[in-house]
A and B are shown apart, each in its own frame.
Chain A
Amino acid sequence: MKSVIAEHLVKTYRNGEVKALNDLSLDVEEGTVLGVLGPNGAGKTTTVRILATLLKPDSGSATVAGIDVIKHPDKVREQIGLSGQYAAVDETLTGWDNLVMFGRLYHLGRQSSIDRANELLERFDLTEASRRPIKTYSGGMRRRLDLAASLIVKPKILFLDEPTTGLDPRGRQDMWGVIQELVKGGVTLLLTTQYLEEADQLADEIAVIDRGTVIARGTSDALKKQVGGERLEITVEPSDLDKTNEIVAKISGNATHVDHRTISAPVLHGSKDLMDALRAMDDAKIHPLDIGLKRPSLDDVFLSLTGHVAEETVEEPVAKKKRGGKK
């Protein structure tokens, strides 16, 4: 069963001048994680906002938990949890205050709200900081509290919009751990991210979006294969360029790409190919300036899927302004 279905969503800003979503369709199987991967301005936040009933699409339809988001937003809201790019909590209040307040807004009783708040604070390792104003929290703590706030009524479907953007590596690791725990608990998750690695870690399936539409979809492995897997990359002195090129071409069996003094080509066997290359270079008495395997990055995925790099597109400043700043 599909928990989330979006069909042919279109959303324009500024009277149609800026197309945020351009016929976007996606779905999420119940109990799985869909990673929506794309650069800034690709339409990730707009998609989440439509699915979470904060925004109406110009056209197209969407259902969450089988409920139409446009016709019955109130019923959808009872089923979902949403955590955005910024910590949407009251910063002057303490973590505990915030969670109790949200509990009461979900119409839990006073005692249940308090119990649930304590439980969530414990679970997200925030008990110690629970009586401090959010202002004093680190970025990672804020995000965890924000996530906790979206889990108060144990939603079956969760939307996380760039949950780790702006966090340091440590905060990101912590957040991943927290999200993985949630997923084990059987929640259906739609997660947006700019980082391939994050989608890789957390998502069962990835939808790559660009300029408001889904351009590729599949498991992380499938996508990477589509991009071409690992690449062998060697940088040498100009005089050694031709010889090295021959070596790389032989090992790869594919066309090589030469950029200044760097030669690269897709390889199938990773470290074995790397060692073969080293041996061949040594035999030919060539000393590489740099040699290594490069795993596909989001940029590679984008380059291969769209023919352009994952740069910020024009709509971003507008979207930012409309949302009143997102970071």
Chain B
Amino acid sequence: MRNAIYDAMIITKRQLLQLARVPELLVFSTIQPVMFVLLFRYVFGGSIDTGQPGGYVQLLMPGIFVQTVAFTLASTAIGLAEDMKKGLIDRFRSLPISRGAVIIGRTFGDALLNILVLAVMAIAGYAVGWRPTSGILQTTLAFLFLFMFGYALSWIGILVGLSVKEARTVQSVGFLVTFPLTFLSNAFAPTTGMPRALQYFAEWNPVSTMVAACRQLFGLENQFGATANSWPSQHPLETSLLYMVILMAIFIPLSIRKYKNYSN
């Protein structure tokens, strides 16, 4: 077990080294969310009346944060698929290292990368007027939630990467899944405007519960639409936590098993 963690750390360190060698990687993973912040803040922000002191950007930023960490699913999957394609995973598998270390290390690495990305996003948000009002403790807790959500999703990414094996396919699949999930939610617009059936979907959507949880933790009153009055929209913190636990309970063992049995 000690060895497994040691081995995983080496793999994690490799990802940090990549970042040190190619700092542009950080730019690539933050440029899209930063663009979203600017677009939504200045294109829609002016015409959406939120009744929220501080304006739309207060509601927007939690949505952007969640969307950003949701992309961990795709980035983990893409990274793993590329390693497999290049034969790096084969090499790792021919080494006398503990079996789960390679994928555990990757999830750690992607989690660390998320901290950096979230920091960049928080700075970008601050620059366009986002101000959490709940105090340092709750704000930190919100970021901890985001961090954990990203970590849980990266385990789905592991399974996707191991199953699909082709980075480009992963990329389009990731796009196809993440985009509807983040938009069919309360992240950017109130769910109240959606057709009834979609409202239910949107409110049970983990993205929505995460966004609502973050909004609550950042000190916002307005949850941006909870008309279906579903349980998750009234208990966003609990529901989000539950979702994360369920996701990890399912996908960690599944991914590790898939990796161990993975033989071409």
How long is the Cα–Cα vector from A88 to B17 in the complex, in angstroms?
Answer: 17
Taking A52-B94, A84-B90, A105-B95 as known contacts, 4 extra A-B pairs with beta carbons closer than 8 A to each other, sorted by chain A number, are: A84-B91, A90-B88, A105-B97, A324-B166
Minimum C-beta distance from A257 to chain B (A) = 42
- Contact sample, A vs B, 25 pairs, CB 8 Å cutoff: A54-B90, A77-B95, A80-B94, A84-B87, A84-B90, A84-B91, A86-B86, A88-B88, A88-B90, A88-B91, A89-B88, A89-B91, A93-B17, A101-B10, A102-B91, A105-B7, A105-B97, A106-B95, A107-B96, A133-B21, A322-B264, A323-B264, A324-B84, A324-B165, A324-B264
What is the 8 Å Cβ interface bit string for chain A, positions 68-102, against chain B (1 contact, 0 not)?
00000010011010101111111111100100011
What's the count of A-B pairs with C-beta under 8 Å? 81
Contact check, B18 vs A93: say whether CB atoms are below 8 A apart.
yes
Contact check, B264 vs A94: say whether CB atoms are below 8 A apart.
no
Contact check, A325 vs B13: say whether CB atoms are below 8 A apart.
no
Contact check, B14 vs A90: say whether CB atoms are below 8 A apart.
yes
Tell me whether A156 is interfacial, beta carbon within 8 Å. Answer: no
Tell me whether A295 is interfacial, beta carbon within 8 Å. Answer: no
How long is the Cα–Cα vector from A322 to B90 in the complex, in angstroms?
Answer: 13
Given contacts A56-B263, A92-B22, A104-B10, A324 and B85 within 8 Å (CB-CB): yes
How long is the Cα–Cα vector from A82 to B10 in the complex, in angstroms?
Answer: 20
Minimum C-beta distance from B225 to chain A (A) = 43
In the complex formed, the residue of A with least CB distance to B85 is A324
List A residues 39-71 near B (Cβ within 8 Å). Answer: 49, 52-56
Q: Please list the residues of chain A having a beta carbon within 8 angstroms of any beta carbon in chain B.
A: 49, 52-56, 74, 77-78, 80, 82, 84-94, 97, 101-102, 104-107, 133, 149-150, 322-325
| Residue of B17, B86, B88, B96 touching A106 (CB-CB under 8 A) | B96
Contact check, B21 vs A77: say whether CB atoms are below 8 A apart.
no
Given contacts A84-B87, A324-B166, A105 and B92 within 8 Å (CB-CB): yes
How long is the Cα–Cα vector from A74 to B165 in the complex, in angstroms?
Answer: 25
In order of increasing CB-CB distance, the 7 nearest A-B pairs are A88-B87, A88-B91, A77-B96, A82-B94, A78-B96, A322-B264, A324-B85
Tell me whether B93 is interfacial, beta carbon within 8 Å. Answer: yes
Which B residues lie within 8 Å of A91 (CB)? Answer: 86
Which A residues lie within 8 Å of B22 (CB)? Answer: 92, 133
Minimum C-beta distance from B222 to chain A (A) = 43
| Residue of A74, A77, A101, A324 touching B14 (CB-CB under 8 A) | A101
Contact check, A102 vs B95: say whether CB atoms are below 8 A apart.
yes
How long is the Cα–Cα vector from A323 to B17 in the complex, in angstroms?
Answer: 27
| Residue of B7, B18, B92 touching A92 (CB-CB under 8 A) | B18
Most chain B CB within a 10 A radius of its CB, from A55, A82, A92, A323 = A92
Minimum C-beta distance from A12 to chain B (A) = 13
Minimum C-beta distance from A39 to chain B (A) = 20
What is the 8 Å Cβ interface bit string for chain B, positions 67-103, against chain A (1 contact, 0 not)?
0000000000000000011111011111111000000
Contact check, B90 vs A90: say whether CB atoms are below 8 A apart.
no
In the complex formed, the residue of A with least CB distance to B84 is A324
Q: Is the interface of B mostly helix, strand, loop or mixed?
A: helix
| Residue of A74, A92, A93 touching B96 (CB-CB under 8 A) | A74
In the complex formed, the residue of B with least CB distance to A45 is B264
How long is the Cα–Cα vector from A56 to B264 in the complex, in angstroms?
Answer: 9
How long is the Cα–Cα vector from A94 to B21 in the complex, in angstroms?
Answer: 8
Contact check, A92 vs B21: say whether CB atoms are below 8 A apart.
yes
In the complex formed, the residue of A with least CB distance to B261 is A56
Minimum C-beta distance from A60 to chain B (A) = 15
Contact check, A325 vs B85: say whether CB atoms are below 8 A apart.
yes
Which B residues lie within 8 Å of A105 (CB)? Answer: 7, 10, 92, 95, 97
How long is the Cα–Cα vector from A77 to B101 in the complex, in angstroms?
Answer: 15
Which A residues lie within 8 Å of B7 (CB)? Answer: 105
Contact check, B263 vs A97: say whether CB atoms are below 8 A apart.
no
How long is the Cα–Cα vector from A263 to B90 in the complex, in angstroms?
Answer: 49
List B residues 30-68 near A (Cβ within 8 Å). Answer: none
Which B residues lie within 8 Å of A324 (CB)? Answer: 84-85, 165-166, 264
Minimum C-beta distance from B168 to chain A (A) = 12
Which B residues lie within 8 Å of A89 (CB)? Answer: 88, 91
Minimum C-beta distance from A125 to chain B (A) = 22
Minimum C-beta distance from A316 to chain B (A) = 14
How long is the Cα–Cα vector from A325 to B13 in the complex, in angstroms?
Answer: 27
How long is the Cα–Cα vector from A17 to B166 in the complex, in angstroms?
Answer: 23
Minimum C-beta distance from A137 to chain B (A) = 14
Which B residues lie within 8 Å of A92 (CB)? Answer: 18, 21-22
Contact check, B13 vs A101: say whether CB atoms are below 8 A apart.
yes
Which B residues lie within 8 Å of A56 (CB)? Answer: 263
Minimum C-beta distance from B11 to chain A (A) = 8
Which A residues lie within 8 Å of B6 (CB)? Answer: 107
Contact check, A97 vs B95: say whether CB atoms are below 8 A apart.
no
How long is the Cα–Cα vector from A133 to B166 in the complex, in angstroms?
Answer: 23
Minimum C-beta distance from A288 to chain B (A) = 49
Contact check, B94 vs A97: say whether CB atoms are below 8 A apart.
no
Given contacts A55-B264, A88-B86, A97 and B91 within 8 Å (CB-CB): no
Which B residues lie within 8 Å of A80 (CB)? Answer: 94
Contact check, B14 vs A55: say whether CB atoms are below 8 A apart.
no
Most chain A CB within a 10 A radius of its CB, from B14, B85, B94 = B94
Which B residues lie within 8 Å of A106 (CB)? Answer: 95-96
Contact check, B93 vs A54: say whether CB atoms are below 8 A apart.
yes
